[in-house]
Amino acid sequence: MHFTNLNLSFIGDIMENHLSPSILAADFGNLSQNLQAAEEGGARYFHFDIMDGSFVPNISFGMPVIHSLRKNSKAFFDVHMMVDDPDRYVQAVADAGADGITVHQEACTHLDRTLNHIHECGLKAGVALNPATPISTLSCVLPLVDLVLIMSVNPGFGGQKLIPYTLDKIRALRDYRENAKLHFSIGIDGGATTENVQEIIDCGANFIIAGSAVFRPNDQIAANVKAFRKIMGENPEGENKS
C-alpha cells in the first residue's frame, strides 16, 4: 500500500542526493512535532528503524508508530527492518504506511524471495549490509534492489561515530554499479553529520540517513535539515505539497 502523494524519485534517480532523517533520534514525547519541524526544513523522507532485540541488541518500535505518523505526513517513509526473518512483517509494514522497506542481507534466509515480496506489495526494496559484511554477498540480487544501504556503524544504537573503512565499501559499490550498468541508489546509515556528508557523497552515496545530527538539539531541527540539504545540493523540486 503506497501512501505518499509526493513526486519523489527516492532511490530511482542515482543522480540526486536525498536526506532521510532517522526518527530513532527524535523526541518520542513530541514525535509528530519533530517530524513537522523536519518537514519545515525541507525533509521529504523519514527513516524508521524497527529493531527486535535479537538481530540487533536493542528494541525500538513497531508498526503502530508508522501508522500514527502516516496520518499527518505525505513524506516518503523509508523503513529499515533490523529484525530476524523480516519477510514475516513485510505486508504489515506496508499496510502501516511504508513506502520502502530495507532488509538486512544477514537476516534473510531467502533474500531473493524477500526482495520480490517487497516489490509485490508495491514498495521500493532495499538491502542493508553491516560494516563487516562484504558487498560481494549481494552480487546475485543487485538487479532486484532499489537501494543498497551501507551500515557505517554497528546497528542497534544511535549517536555512534562513522567507521572509516565503510567509505571504501561505498566506493567499491559505486564502481561495481557503474561497471554493471545498474541503477540502484547507495545509502549510508550511521555517523553522518554536516561535517562529513560531503566526503560521503564524494565516495558515491546519494541517500543519507542522519539521526542525531538532524534531531538534536531539539529546537534546531529545521535548521539542521536545511544545513544538510544545502551541502548535499538536494533538489528542491518535489517539496511537500498537496
Q: Which of 13, 85, 189, 202 is catalytic?
A: 189
| 95 noted as active-site residue | no
Q: What is the dihedral of CA 219, 155, 189, 212, to 10 degrees?
A: 10
Grid coordinates given for 184: 540502484
The DSSP result for 97-159, as a single string, is T-SEEEEEGGG-SSHHHHHHHHHHTT-EEEEEE-TTS-GGGGTTTGGG-SEEEEESS-TT-SS
| 189 noted as active-site residue | yes
Q: Which of 13, 27, 49, 202 is catalytic?
A: 49
β-pair partners for 49:
80
| 113: CB partners within 8 A, 6+ apart | 87
Whether 122 contacts 1, CB under 8 Å: yes
Taking the alpha carbons at both ends of the chain, their separation in whole angstroms is 19
- How far is the C-alpha of 13 from the C-alpha of 30, rounded, in Å? 33
- How far is the C-alpha of 80 from the C-alpha of 98, rounded, in Å? 10
Enzyme catalytic residues: 49, 189
